[in-house]
Structure 1
Amino acid sequence: MMTETEKKAIQNDFKEQMDYDELLNCMRCGFCLPSCPTYIETDQQELYSPRGRIALMKGITDGVIEPDEEVTHSLDLCLGCRACETVCPSGVKYGHLLEDARSIIQSHKKQSVPVKMLRRGIFDELFPNQNRLEHVTSLLGFYQRSGLSKVVRKVGFMNLFPESMATMERVLPEVPKRKEIRERPRYFEHEGERQATCAMFTGCLMDTVFFTTNNATIRLLQKAGCDVLVPENQLCCGALHGHNGELERAKQMAKQNIAAFEHSGADYIVTNAGGCGAFLIEYDHLLADDPEWADRAKNFVSKLKDISAVLVTLEFHKTHRLKLPQQTVTYQDSCHLRNVMHTYEEPRLLLQSIEGIHFEEMEGANTCCGSAGDYNIVEPEMAMQILDHKMEQVVKTDAKTIVTANPGCLLEMKVGIERKHRTGSMRAVHIVDLLLEALDG
Structure 2
Amino acid sequence: MTVEQAFTERMDEGELMNCMRCGFCLPSCPTYIQTGGDEVHSPRGRIAMMKAVHDGLMPLTDEMTNSLDVCLGCRACEPVCPAGVQYGHLLEEARTIIQDYKKPSVKEKVVRRTVLNELFPKNEQMNRAVGLVRFYQTSGLQKGVRKIGFLKLFPESMREMEKVLPAIPKRTRTDRKRLLATGEKKATVAFFQGCLMDTMFQETNQNTIRLLQSAGCDIVIPDGQGCCGALHGHAGEKEKAIEMAKRNIEAFEGMEADYIVLNAGGCGAYLAGYDHLLSQDMEWRERAARFKARIRDFSSILIQHGFDERIRFKKRQHRVTYQDSCHLRNGMGVHHEPRQLIQMVEGADYVEMKNADGCCGSAGVYNLVQPEMSMQILDDKMKNVKEAAPGVIVTANPGCLLQMKLGIERAGLSGLVEAVHLADYLNND
Which segments of 5 or more consecutive residues in structure 2 lack a partner in the other structure? Answer: none
**Post-superposition offset of 1:113:** 2.4
Secondary structure of 2:283 counterpart? coil
Q: CA deviation at 1:223?
A: 1.1
CA contact (8 A) 1:41 1:385 kept: yes
* Residue of structure 1 equivalent to 2:271: 280
Match of 1:38 in 2: 31
Contact 1:18 1:97 in 2 (8 A): yes
- Which residue is equivalent to 1:5? none
Residues 144-293 of structure 1 aligned to structure 2 (within 5 Å): 144-178=137-171, 180=172, 182-183=173-174, 185-293=176-284
Corresponding residue for 2:126? 133
Shift in Å, 1:184: 5.7
Pick aligned residue for 1:58 from 44, 51, 58: 51
Contact kept, 8 Å, 2:309 with 2:344, in 1: the verdict is no
CA contact (8 A) 2:28 2:358 kept: yes
- Secondary structure of the corresponding residue to residue 265 of structure 1: coil
- Paired with 1:329 and 1:184, the residues of 2 have a C-alpha distance of 37
Aligned-partner SS, 1:202: coil
SS in 2 for 1:28: coil
Do the aligned partners of 1:284 and 1:294 also contact (CA within 8 Å) in 2?
A: yes
Q: Does 1:13 align with 2:6?
A: yes
In the TM superposition, residue 147 of structure 1 has moved relative to its aligned partner by: 1.2
Asked whether the 8 Å contact 2:311–2:426 carries over to 1, the reply is no
SS at the partner of 1:121?
Answer: helix
Q: Secondary structure at the match of 2:232?
A: helix
For 1:77, the equivalent position in structure 2 comes to 70
Which has the larger displacement, 112-121 or 275-284?
A: 112-121
Distance 2:106 2:378 in 1: 33
Asked if the contact 1:83–1:339 (Cα under 8 Å) also holds between the matched residues in 2, the reply is: yes
Q: Does the 8 Å CA contact 1:239/1:275 hold for their aligned counterparts?
A: yes
1:281-320 equivalences under 5 Å are: 281-316=272-307, 318-319=308-309
For 1:66, the aligned partner's letter is P
Distance 1:355 1:245, change over 3 A: same
Amino acid of the structure 2 residue aligned with 1:248: E
- Could you tell me which residue of structure 2 aligns to residue 106 of structure 1? 99
CA distance in 2, matches of 1:278, 1:227: 24
Write the letter of the residue equivalent to 1:286: L
Deviation at 1:85, TM superposition (A): 0.5
Tell me the TM-score normalised to structure 1 length.
0.95
Structure 1 partner of 2:347 = 356
- The residue type paired with residue 131 of structure 1 is E
Runs of 4+ with deviation above 3 angstroms: 319-324
Of 361, 385, 398 in structure 2, the residue corresponding to residue 407 of structure 1 is 398
- Alignment partner, residue 375 of structure 1: 366
Say whether 1:366 aligns with 2:354.
no
Describe the shift of the 1:184–1:327 C-alpha distance in structure 2 as closer, same or farther (beyond 3 A): farther
CA distance in 2: counterparts of 1:411 and 1:308, whole angstroms: 20
Is residue 201–residue 270 contact of structure 1 (8 Å, CA) maintained in 2? yes
1:3 maps to none
Distance 2:332 2:249 in 1: 18
- CA deviation after TM superposition for structure 1 residue 354, in Å: 0.9
Shift of 1:175: 1.7
Aligned to 1:397: 388
Tell me how far 1:63 sits from its aligned partner.
1.3
Instruction: Work out whether residues 283 and 301 of structure 1, in 8 Å CA contact, stay in contact via their aligned partners in 2.
Output: yes
The alpha carbon displacement at 1:212 in A equals: 0.5
What's the CA shift for 1:421? Answer: 1.2
SS of the residue 1:293 aligns to: helix
The equivalent position to 1:387 in structure 2, one of 378, 398, 404, is 378
TM-score, reference length from structure 2: 0.98
1:167 shift after superposition: 1.7
CA change 1:184–1:410 in 2 (3 A) is farther
Q: C-alpha separation between the residues in 2 aligned to 1:112 and 1:34? A: 36
| 331, 334, 339: which one aligns with 1:340 | 331
Q: Secondary structure at the match of 1:429?
A: strand
Aligned 8 A contact 1:322 1:353 in 2: no
The change in CA–CA distance for 1:207 and 1:424 in structure 2 (over 3 A counts) is: same
Deviation, structure 1 residue 112? 2.2
Deviations 1:165-185, CA, capped at 9 Å, x for gaps: 21211111122334x1x3363
Q: Hey, what's the Cα distance between the residues in 2 that align with 1:320 and 1:259?
A: 38
Q: In 2, distance between residues paired with 1:214 and 1:321?
A: 19
- Counterpart residue identity of residue 146, structure 2: R
Q: Is the 8 A contact 2:228 2:267 kept in 1?
A: yes
C-alpha separation in 1, matches of 2:56 and 2:153: 43
SS in 2 for 1:373: coil
Three-state SS of the structure 2 residue aligned to 1:191 is coil
- Distance (whole Å) between structure 2 residues aligned to residue 433 and residue 149 of structure 1: 25
Contact 1:50 1:94 in 2 (8 A): yes
Q: Paired residues, what number?
A: 428
Asked whether the 8 Å contact 1:48–1:78 carries over to 2, the reply is: yes
Asked whether 1:25 is paired with 2:8, we answer no
| 1:356/1:184 CA distance change after superposition, 3 Å | farther
Measured after TM superposition, the shift of residue 320 of structure 1 is 5.1
- Would the alpha carbon gap of residues 84 and 186 (structure 1) be closer, same or farther in structure 2, given more than 3 Å must change? same
